[in-house]
Amino acid sequence: MLHQTVPNPAAALAMAGLGAGDPAVNDPGLLRSAFGRFATGVTVVTTGTAEGPVAITANSFSSVSLDPPLVLWSIGRHSRRFDAFAEASHYAVHVLAEDQADLCWRFSKSGSDFSDLDLSWNEHGVPLLPQALARFECSVADRFAAGDHMILLGRVLDLESQDGPPLLFAGGRPRVQSTG
Ligand SMILES: Cc1cc2nc3c(=O)[nH]c(=O)nc-3n(C[C@H](O)[C@H](O)[C@H](O)COP(=O)(O)O)c2cc1C
């Protein structure tokens, strides 16, 4: 295996094109890359709008509380889908299975391409994808401004869950689970 060794922090900064007095955190590329070292699952979050269903691929999802049942995820303010989710009263989080990478890419590119998907709808007008490893139907419990994102805290109203390997994401790309 090829290992890139970095002799000291100053050399690391120089490699990144930063001066000694310039903290690495000020380099958006380094920050993004370091954030990406944290392996996550992948979700597709959906909501309903007057213009139709909207979805987005999100790996900022996290469970928060068992009692009451709370989850969160965050949406980028610069996303064209921001208003749809920032104004939503309800959303659904679909945890993707290992064989659903196509949905990951589809809903990272488009918020409205539901072609060939057999959608159902819950009583809050939220579109539900036909298959997922787990699905959390939520009402928005709170919203928090957080820099260039908004955190959407959701109260879980209903859920479905099944066994199977999850789709994993790390270092900017999907990963296959190690069997070792
Ligand atoms: C694996 C993965 C995870 C992502 N996670 C998030 C997320 O948590 N929040 C977010 O706002 N965008 C996230 N994105 C980006 C959006 O899916 C989408 O690509 C972005 O909003 C595109 O901009 P648009 O909405 O203007 O089309 C993620 C993309 C990928 C591929």
Cβ–ligand 1 distance for 41 under 6 Å, the answer: no
DSSP-assigned beta bridge partners for residue 152: 73, 143
Distance CA 140, CA 65 (A): 14
CA atoms within 13 A on the CB side of 138: 29
Closest atom of ligand 1 to CA, residue 80: 26
Closest atom of ligand 1 to CA, residue 60: 8
Cβ–ligand 1 distance for 100 under 6 Å, the answer: no
- Residue 11 clears pLDDT 70, i.e. is over it: no
Classify domain 42-170 by CATH architecture. Answer: Roll (2.30)
Which residue's CA is the nearest one to ligand 1's atom 21?
A: 79
Residue 85 has what pLDDT? 98
Cβ–ligand 1 distance for 81 under 6 Å, the answer: yes
Residue 163 has what pLDDT? 97
Q: What is the pLDDT of residues 73-120, one digit of tens each?
A: 999 999 999 999 999 999 999 999 999 999 999 999 999 999 999 999
Residue 19 has what pLDDT? 57
Residue 177 has what pLDDT? 76
Q: What is the pLDDT of residues 158-180, one digit of tens each?
A: 999 999 999 999 999 988 776 54
Q: What is the pLDDT of residues 59-81, one digit of tens each?
A: 999 999 999 999 999 999 999 99
- Residue 5 clears pLDDT 50, i.e. is over it: no
Residue 15 has what pLDDT? 55
Cβ–ligand 1 distance for 104 under 6 Å, the answer: yes
H-helix segments, the chain = 9-15, 28-35, 82-86, 101-109
More confident residue, 100 or 18: 100
Closest atom of ligand 1 to CA, residue 82: 25
Cβ–ligand 1 distance for 43 under 6 Å, the answer: no
Give the pLDDT band of residue 1 (cuts 50, 70, 90): very low
Beta-sheet strands, E only, within the chain: 40-41, 43-49, 52-58, 62-65, 70-76, 90-95, 120-121, 127-128, 134-146, 149-161, 168-170, 173-175
Distance CA 146, CA 161 (A): 30
Q: What is the pLDDT of residues 21-51, one digit of tens each?
A: 678 899 999 999 999 999 999 999 999 999 9
Residue 23 has what pLDDT? 87
Cβ–ligand 1 distance for 93 under 6 Å, the answer: no
